[in-house]
Amino acid sequence: MLDLLKLKTFQAVAATKNFTRAAAELGYSQSSVTTHVQALERELGALLFDRLSPRRLVLTDVGRRMLDYSARLLALADEAKAAVHSQTTPSGPLSVSAPEALLVYRLPDVLRRFQTLHPHVQLTLTSHSDCQSQIDAVLDGVLDLAFVVDERLLSGQLTARPLGTEEIVMVASPDYHFVNPSGDSLANLTEERVLLPGEGCPFRQLFERALDAVHIRLRNTLTLASIEATKKCAVAGMGMAVMPKMAVALELESGRLAPAPWPGLGFPACVQMIRHRKRSASGALKALWDLAEQSF
pLDDT of residue 54 exceeding 80, the answer is no
Query: 92-166+270-295 has which CATH code?
Result: 3.40.190.10
Give residue-wise pLDDT tens across range 170-184.
899 998 876 545 555
| DSSP of 124-152 | EEEE---HHHHHHHHHTTS-SEEEEEESP
Q: Looking at residue 79, what is its pLDDT?
A: 82
Q: Looking at residue 190, what is its pLDDT?
A: 78
Q: Looking at residue 293, what is its pLDDT?
A: 92
Q: Looking at residue 177, what is its pLDDT?
A: 78
% pLDDT > 90, the chain: 50
Give residue-wise pLDDT tens across range 81-116.
776 655 567 888 999 999 988 999 999 999 999 999
Angle formed at CA 110 by CA 109 and CA 116, multiple of 5 degrees: 90
Find the radius of gyration of the CA atoms of the chain: 32
Architecture of domain 4-85: Orthogonal Bundle (1.10)
Q: Looking at residue 153, what is its pLDDT?
A: 82
Q: Looking at residue 161, what is its pLDDT?
A: 94
pLDDT of residue 257 exceeding 70, the answer is yes
Pair 11, 70: CB distance under 8 Å:
yes
Q: Looking at residue 53, what is its pLDDT?
A: 75
Architecture of domain 168-264: 3-Layer(aba) Sandwich (3.40)
Give residue-wise pLDDT tens across range 193-232.
999 998 888 899 888 888 888 788 888 999 998 999 999 9
For residue 158, which amino acid is it? Answer: L
Q: For the range 34-43, what are the long-range contacts, defined as Cβ-Cβ under 8 Å and sequence gap of 24 or more?
A: 36/5, 36/6, 36/9, 36/10, 37/6, 37/9, 37/10, 37/13, 39/3, 39/6, 40/2, 40/3, 40/6, 40/7, 40/9, 40/10, 43/2, 43/6
Q: Looking at residue 280, what is its pLDDT?
A: 87
Where are the domains positioned within the chain?
A: 4-85, 92-166+270-295, 168-264
Distances in Å between the Cα of 142 and the Cα atoms of 68, 129, 168 are 40, 16, 30
Alpha carbon distance 57, 48 (integer Å): 10
Fold match between domain 4-85 and domain 168-264: no
In 3D, which of 254, 256, 272 has the Cα closest to residue 241? 256
pLDDT of residue 151 exceeding 70, the answer is yes
Q: Looking at residue 178, what is its pLDDT?
A: 67
Q: Looking at residue 192, what is its pLDDT?
A: 84
Q: Confidence class of residue 186 from pLDDT cuts 50, 70 and 90?
A: low
pLDDT of residue 253 exceeding 90, the answer is yes
Pair 144, 285: CB distance under 8 Å:
yes
Q: Looking at residue 264, what is its pLDDT?
A: 63
Residue 269's φ and ψ, nearest 5 degrees, are -90, 90
Q: Model-level pTM?
A: 0.68
